[in-house]
Amino acid sequence: MPTIHDVARRAGVAPITVSRVITRRGYCSAQTRRKVESAIAELGYVPNRVASSLRSKRTSLLALVLTDITNPYFTQIARGVEDTASDSGYTVIYCNTDESLLEEQRYIQVLLQNRVAGVLLVPAAGETRSVELLQNNHTPVVVLDRGLTGARADLVLSDSLGGALQLVRLLIGLGHRRIALLNGPPGISTADDRLAGYHQALDEAGIPQEMRLVLHGGYTQESGCELARQALSHHPRPSALFAANNFIAIGALRHVQDAGLRVPADIALVGFDDLPDALITFPFLTVASQPAYEMGKRATELLLSRLSGDDESPPRQIVLPTELIIRQSSGQPLASS
């Protein structure tokens, strides 16, 4: 494979001149540029970014560390990240942690070794070690989707508390008083915030503690099934379920139907996260939709501004609003209320 020297020889210039043409930095006459460009074309020269990175100490790699790209919510985030990064000449590495702190830390290590320019991190747990490790090694991080108490880092998330508040208020407005929360893992800020929103809405309505039911599990369909099972076996049975994410909602729906109950006639169901329009066969679930693409975009913009070096301001926190989308699963006002 030809190197910058081969190009230089062919064009009758010094290697550094070729470098200047490629990187578009520094002056260079139109004629020289043309000579160099044709030499590049003739040789089929492909600049070696590995060498360039070693010398310049900067790579054009960003990393997106998330829990599971299989969840459309994260897929949309990923797309927002990639589109934005790509527009600025960055390439994105992505890593699925499956909510495992061990996997997360293994990946962080690899990313540091590769000297990625910056990292977008959806933390596997409410742990600041990964963020600190990156920062100690001078790698800018933007934390995404989930807050991290104690970490001094940029943060982009959606308003989990507000979204939960809207959903639970909606249910209360429909006459529900026994509302079960099928939540994600405690310690994950999205789960904690949705729990807080749940309680706040119930407090507002003066619904007493003993009518509340909070169950914790993973953000998976299986967990949704299991949590719904627990909720249904409770006496008295809740009249509405609030699922803390899309997978839990679907698992819960599945279980409720298998148990012979109809949604929303027998029990109402609302959840977090919407599915992209192109994936919904029948619009059914009432949800608080998070602006996932926008979150990925904003987070990447923030990261890029940190990379460019002209943004030394203190850590910023961007909270985007959720959107309440009312469909059938939340049902009609309860007759009995």
Partner DNA sequence: CTGTTAGCGCTTTCAA
Partner DNA sequence: TTGAAAGCGCTAACAG
Task: Classify residue 236 by burial, with Cβ atoms within 10 Å: 0-12, 13-18, 19+.
Answer: exposed
> Cβ of 177: how many Cβ atoms within 10 Å?
19
Binding mask 243-262 for a second copy (x = CB under 8 A): ---xx--xx-x---------
Q: How far apart are CA 249 and CA 139, in angstroms?
A: 37
16 binds, among a second copy, DNA, none (CB under 5 to 8 A by kind): DNA
Contact 111, 119 (CB under 8 A): yes
Q: Which of these segments, 23-31, 163-171, 199-207, 271-279, binds a second copy (CB under 8 A)?
A: 271-279
Take residue 61 and report the two structure tokens written for it.
């790699």
Q: Is 29 in the site for DNA (CB under 7 A)?
A: yes
Q: Is 135 in the site for a second copy (CB under 8 A)?
A: no
Is residue 167 left, alpha or beta, with left meaning phi > 0 and alpha meaning psi from -120 to 50?
alpha
Q: Is 303 in the site for a second copy (CB under 8 A)?
A: no
Among 48, 109, 137, 317, interactor with DNA by CB under 7 A: 48
Among 34, 41, 42, 54, interactor with DNA by CB under 7 A: 54
Q: Is 14 in the site for DNA (CB under 7 A)?
A: yes
Q: Is 44 in the site for a second copy (CB under 8 A)?
A: yes
Question: Shortest gap between Cβ of 60 and DNA (angstroms)?
Answer: 11
Q: Which of these segments, 4-12, 189-197, 279-287, 299-307, binds DNA (CB under 7 A)?
A: 4-12
Q: How far apart are CA 44 and CA 31, in angstroms?
A: 20
**Chain CA centroid to CA 145, Å:** 5
Is residue 223 left, alpha or beta, with left meaning phi > 0 and alpha meaning psi from -120 to 50?
alpha
List residues binding DNA (CB under 7 A): 1, 3-5, 12-17, 19-20, 22-23, 25-29, 31-32, 47-48, 51-52, 54-57
